[in-house]
Structure 1
Amino acid sequence: MNYVTIGIIAILAFLASVIFTSLEIPILRRKQAGQNIREEGPKSHYAKAGTPSMGGIAMIGAAIIGAAIGRYYSPQMGAVVIVFVLFGAIGFFDDYLKVVKKNNLGLRAYQKFGLQIIISVAFAVYMAMFSGDGTSVWIPFVNINVDFGIWYIPFIAFVLLAMTNAVNLTDGLDGLATGVTALVSLFFAIAAVTYGASSGAGVFCSALTGACLGFLVYNKNPAKVFMGDTGSLALGGGLAAAAIVMHFELLLPIAGFVYVMEALSVIIQVVSFKLTGKRVFKMAPLHHHFELSGLKEKQVVGIFWGAALIFCIIGLGIL
């Protein structure tokens, strides 16, 4: 695999994503699969009510087609695609209940998280016992591999769960999660080529980059479609699984630092309110805090895209 290959795969996935999304939007409108807007959210978002959601279906299809065209098939790539699809399926059922069946609760929290745990643990067991890669984890900065032994499975499961839900939290503004994920997945595709990591996972990341960029054509502000949990859970799960297969799992919080900050802002907000009754941020996740501080949505998205680019460059420097 080389840079030309990942470029071609990304372009083909981009075209597939543009076509699939353009076909999907009218179908979602006919199904009245419109987004519900949180009443406690920024008032500027009220105008988005009814915008078609569940657009992540198109992204998932485009990414799979792009990865298949790459023809770097391997058991590890198959595992990444399975995780990608299964996390997307969880999001799909949640979205379907919310936007089609008009059940605001969707999947119960224990159902949603329980299914994520099952998939994460199953993937971790596969990596530890059946992938042939063992239980070692590469440590950045010091450039050594440490055998995690019995702690490898819970560690990998945690990485997958944390990343998936962090991407889900990032999906709150037009084009935010889509653009950030396009950059982070491109980082891992480049890393796979440059440092000889798993070719299959690298192909998947290049396809994911193209799928995100194609979806961004319709998801940028003002968004014509939202990815929903169908998209955000799939993106987080697929990206994390690919990084784990490459043994770059500890680069996720560096290249994906935007996701980390989004998740941390929610944790800090909840802990602070429960302990002191006071909120640290005007609203969590962090992107809403910037909005309520006076920045326009496009400005916030631009800042977060810029931050994602900087941390991806830092990640390449570390490698």
Structure 2
Amino acid sequence: MISVLLAGAIAMVLAMVGTPLFIRFLVARGYGQFIRDDGPTSHHTKRGTPTMGGAVIIAATLLGYFGAHLLLIVFDTLDWVDLRSTGFTISGLLVLFLMAGLGLVGFFDDYIKISKQRSLGLRSVEKLVGQTAIAVIFAVLALQFPVDDFRRPASTAVSFVRDTSLDFAALGTVGGLVLFVLWANIMIAGASNGVNLTDGLDGLATGASVMVFGAYMLIGIWQFNQNCQISPGPNCYDVRDALDVAVVAACVAGSCFGFLWWNASPAKIFMGDTGSLALGGALAGLAIVTHTQLLMAILGGLFVLITLSVIIQVGSFKMTGKRVFRMAPLQHHFELLGWAEVTIVIRFWIIAGLCVAVGLGVFYAEWVASL
């Protein structure tokens, strides 16, 4: 627990202090947000607001993770405190790699938008290639580095709150690997797009992310305390590096919390694709290494709901020529209905909180039922 709290606190402070410094840097260079003309007219006042704030979230997360580990290693060496875990783990590093890699793709996308003052950044093919390359590397590496000959960061089995009987490995080594990589790409793309679509109002995606990553912090701690290596039994979790995964989740939640101070309405900075792609990648990565792949859809229910609104809008218009919502994603529909931006954000935060509560309830209920 010491490592989790320390890492989260470092990341939060760094994000809160570093964001205004980054804002000054961006303003000095004129790196402001481009606003689409076909969006809500109320958003035109946001034109020129600094963007690419996701770089602060990524930096604070990385510094929080590595800084906390290095401090704990020093404390442990000096015998200041008895620690059960102070080392870096492959699971934690892989999630950070996925987060930073997708954040880099988003950074290039944001930079092109800003430098050329247009709504289109990277071309769709370029963006897809970048995201896919990072996701494939993550998925392949997640099935390596075995401990005790079988415990790897990820499993080829589809998981809900733990691995199910549906295992891609049944199709053979090569077939299982290919299907797992495809499945991981679907999850990573879905989570990244979900957070990206949600990031349309001041503080909306950031606040929801705090709750979701906070939930994964609790899941990691619980899996560590009920790990098969510590508490063997029929309901234990055979998950690798659970405590360090909780540390990563705490860092992301803390950095989002610190960033939210400046991203809340009226936003002084936007996270941009740099942040939304990175957070989506971190979310999918955590779901994969904690073996809670399908549970991610419940915990991130707000992201799923907003993504579905876009799918429904596009599908309805193509099939019938009619739109279900005044505008998609869903938050803009309520804007055009006359709802104040702050009202929408707070009510969507409530929905995000309820989804997280339901997801944690399902996670715990499964453990109780298996006693």
CA contact (8 A) 2:157 2:164 kept: no
Please, which of 79, 91, 105 is the counterpart of residue 90 of structure 1? 105
Amino acid at match of 2:65: A
Amino acid at match of 2:204: L
* Structure 1: gaps of 5 or more residues: none
Cα distance in 2 for partners of 1:244, 1:145 equals 16
User: What is the CA-CA distance between 1:129 and the residue it aligns to?
Assistant: 4.4
| Shift, 1:276, TM fit | 1.0
2:34 and 2:117 in contact (8 A); partners too:
no
Residue 211 of structure 1 aligns to a residue in which SS? helix
CA distance in 2, matches of 1:193, 1:116: 29
2:42 to 41, 44, 47: 44
1:32–1:100 Cα contact (<8 Å) kept:
no
The answer for the alignment partner of 2:13 in structure 1 is 15
Pick from 249, 253, 267: which aligns with 1:205? 249
The range that moved more, 94-103 or 79-88, is 94-103
More off after superposition, 287-296 vs 87-96 = 287-296
2:197 — aligned with what? 169
Q: Report the Cα distance in structure 2 between the residues aligned to 1:39 and 1:244, rounded to whole angstroms.
A: 38
Could you say which structure has the higher helix fraction?
Answer: 1
**How many angstroms apart in 1 are the aligned matches of 2:284 and 2:64?**
18
Identity of aligned residues (%): 41
1:25 deviation in Å? Answer: 0.3
2:302 aligns to what?
258
* 1:224 maps to 2:245: no
Aligned counterpart, 2:229: none
Among candidates 184, 190, 208, match of residue 180 of structure 1: 208
Per-residue deviation, residues 238-259 of structure 1 (Å, max 9, x unmatched): 1211221111121110000001
Q: How much does 1:134 deviate?
A: 3.6
Native 8 Å contact 2:199 2:205 kept in 1: yes
Work out whether 1:295 is the aligned partner of 2:339: yes
Kept in 1: contact 2:302–2:352 (CA 8 A): yes
- Say which SS state the counterpart of residue 20 (structure 1) adopts: helix
Determine whether 1:277 maps to 2:321.
yes
Q: Does 1:148 align with 2:176?
A: no
Which one-letter code corresponds to 1:18 in the other structure? M
Aligned length: 316
**C-alpha distance in 1, partners of 2:13/2:160?**
37
SS in 1 for 2:55: helix
How big is the alpha-carbon RMSD for the aligned residues of Structure 1 and Structure 2? Answer: 1.6
Distance in 2 (CA, whole Å) between partners of 1:192 and 1:277 is 46
- CA deviation map 1:185-231 (0-9, x unaligned): 00000110012252222111100011001100100000000011111
Partner of 2:157: 136
* 8 Å Cα contact 1:139/1:145 also seen in 2: no
Question: What CA distance in whole angstroms lies between the structure 2 residues aligned with 1:145 and 1:208?
Answer: 31
What is the alpha-carbon distance in structure 2 between the residues aligned to residue 9 and residue 122 of structure 1?
26
Q: CA deviation at 1:130?
A: 4.5
Q: Is the 8 A contact 1:95 1:230 kept in 2?
A: yes
Tell me by how many angstroms 1:144 deviates: 4.1
- Distance in 1 between the 2:134 and 2:194 partners? 17
Residue-by-residue CA offset, 1:140-169 (whole Å, 9 max, x unaligned): 4x9745322223221112111110111111
Which of 118, 121, 139 is residue 124 of structure 1 equivalent to? 139
Task: Report the equivalent of 1:80.
Answer: 95
Pick aligned residue for 2:55 from 49, 54, 57? 57
CA contact (8 A) 2:94 2:142 kept: no
2: distance between equivalents of 1:109 and 1:136? 31
TM-score by length of 1: 0.94
Mapped to 1, the partners of 2:324 and 2:23 lie a distance apart of 38
Work out whether residues 128 and 153 of structure 1, in 8 Å CA contact, stay in contact via their aligned partners in 2: no
Which TM-score applies when normalising by structure 2?
A: 0.82
Corresponding residue for residue 227 of structure 2: none
Gaps of 5+ in 2: 70-86, 147-151, 170-175, 225-238, 364-371
Q: Distance in 2 between matches of 1:169 and 1:204?
A: 24
SS in structure 2 opposite 1:137?
strand
